Each structure stands twice: as structure tokens, then as C-alpha cells.
Structure 1
């Protein structure tokens, strides 16, 4: 699953730690999601999208192998 978290964080000028605090997970979890090594739960995906004021589809994109 591809994502735009790093780009959206840069736009808001927030760190992984700040995003993690806002969505109540560890910085390591945000790092793993950004690195595409971990797919977030639906609830976490919704929280992340809400921080960026975007839809889930604007932040996360399924790849061919994810289907």
C-alpha cells in the first residue's frame, strides 16, 4: 500500500513524532507506515487522514498486489 504521509507531513511541517502524538501511536509506527512496511488499521488510517484534512483515498493507495 502506497501512501503520501511523508509529503503531507512536509506540507504541515510536522515530524513523525508529532503526527504519532496526534493519532496516539508510536513514532516507530508512523515510520513503518511511511516505509510501507506496515498497513494501518482502518481507524488509524481515518485518524491520519483527518489530521491532514484529506480523505483516506487521498492518503493511501492500494497497489496491484494488495488486491
Structure 2
């Protein structure tokens, strides 16, 4: 998907400590200019939400040329 410019991700932080993992392969999205992430927290521990947010920021930082928002 070299022409993908905008990526939107939505997921729940519930169970992040057991099942969560940052998206793999984002470095192959060479045309990526914007990443938007919405992390739901219904029933999630605050520590799971923070871990998910941190992982998403780290993933976005791999693409320093794009803008990113983690909500």
C-alpha cells in the first residue's frame, strides 16, 4: 500500500496487557502522511489505556515525516 496517505485506527484498550501489540509493518507505508488513533477505554484499566497510547505514539514516531494524533 505505498499510496496510502491517511490511516485511521480505532480500538479498545480493554485487555491491552494481554492482547495488545502495536501495528507491525507501518514502516512499509511509504506514502503515509497522517495517522489518527482513537483508543476506547470502556471497561479498560487506565494503565492499559496509557500503554496503548504509548505504543501508538511510538509507532507514529517511526514515521517522523507524518502527523499523528492519539485520542
Q: With structure 2 as the length reference, what TM-score do the two structures score?
A: 0.28
Q: Which has a greater percent of strand? A: 2
Q: Which has a greater percent of helix? A: 1
Larger radius of gyration: 2
Q: With structure 1 as the length reference, what TM-score do the two structures score?
A: 0.29
